[in-house]
Structure 1
Amino acid sequence: MNTDKQLFTVSIYTENNIGLLNRISAIFQRRHINIESLNTSPSEIEGVSRFTIVVNITEEHVKKIIGQIEKQVEVIKAYYHNDEDTIYQESCIFKMKSDLLFEERQIQNIIKDSNARIVTVNKEFFVIEKSGRKEEVDLIYKELKSFGILQFTRSGRISVSKQPMEISQMLAAFN
């Protein structure tokens, strides 16, 4: 068993119940594990939510955590994958002063070179959206920072596994 820490994407399929996020995050907190990113959304199954949590831990720890998470009544199934087993993206948006767009040619080059897109422009500000790997988001942030970012936010990781998780078949068997 590999005892080196690495990034794992934990996918948790759940009923959508109040308080579940607190109980799941407490499982990580009790073990002093920092959550690198967290995303919740509807899943591919109607009425079922999906938590996508990224943690930097050993495989042994992630297996124990999956076991603890699955003990929660509302949890249908939990999975973990390393980066090689997933296809993932992050998104971010930047709000910048509008005059930069017209006065700083370099800004237009950064947007074009990074495959970002302009979402809106008005007299006071413009908004850029970028989706990609964490490294791509980090790079455009670094490039735009020197021009003065008014606001910045990024999403948690969203991902799909390369291998089927077969949650739909599992649920069909229950019904």
Structure 2
Amino acid sequence: MENKERYTISIYTENNIGLLNRISAIFQRRHVNIESINSSASEIDEVSRWTILVNVSEDQIKKIIGQIEKQVEVIKAYYHTEDETIYQESCLFKIKSDLLFEERQIQNIIKDSNARIVTVNKDFFVLEKSGRSSEVDLLYRELSAFGILQFNRSGRIAVTKEAMEITKLLQTFNP
């Protein structure tokens, strides 16, 4: 059995209905769980970029990329190791407001974690934290002791350390 590794997949696509379903089916057929998925505008006009995080072997990731690139709307797909990317996650915590004023430890946790208070009202306050997965996990564990009313976490967003050739590739189609 091959060693599984964490890979970040970058997919550049046209923005078409049904593509998400077809891409997720590729992972489903191979019994691969998607750890996180993010879709956004890319650095190229009218091209979307998906960032998907998975734990698979190198052999599996190569096959998955090959299958993804067979989709008509996919312009190009890449995979990257952890060392090849700079990445972040974001999250929001909703916590009872009285804790902010009564528990000095919460204020210290907020300061030490570089979290940011987004809003405060009489019933609750909302914290925002951006950072590595481990930083978000740590803040979650620390705040759990006080009770979290709501928690929401984004998928990974990432850029590669090395230049990607996608812009040059697209210029060949639009001289």
| Fold shared, TM-score > 0.5 on shorter chain | yes
Aligned to 1:154: 153
Stretches of structure 2 that go unaligned for 5 or more consecutive residues are: none
After the TM superposition, list the runs of 4 or more consecutive aligned residues in structure 1 that deviate by more than 4 angstroms: none
**Following superposition of structure 1 onto structure 2, how do residues 31-46 of structure 1 map, counting pairs within 5 Å?**
31-46=30-45
Q: CA deviation at 1:167?
A: 0.7
Structure-1-length-normalised TM-score: 0.98
The number of residue pairs the alignment matches comes to 174
Q: CA deviation at 1:7?
A: 0.2
What do the CA deviations read for 1:37-94 (whole angstroms, capped 9, x no partner)? 1111111111000110000000110001000000000000000000000000000000
Partner AA of 1:16 in structure 2: N
Stretches of structure 1 that go unaligned for 5 or more consecutive residues are: none
Aligned to 1:29: 28
Rounded Cα–Cα distance in structure 2 between residues aligned with 1:3 and 1:30: 18
Aligned to 2:138: 139
Give the aligned CA root-mean-square deviation in angstroms: 0.9
Rounded Cα–Cα distance in structure 1 between residues aligned with 2:96 and 2:141: 17
Rounded Cα–Cα distance in structure 1 between residues aligned with 2:123 and 2:165: 49
Partner AA of 1:68 in structure 2: Q
Q: CA deviation at 1:3?
A: 2.9
Aligned to 2:92: 93
**Secondary structure class of the residue paired with 1:95:** strand
Q: CA deviation at 1:166?
A: 1.5
Partner AA of 1:92 in structure 2: C
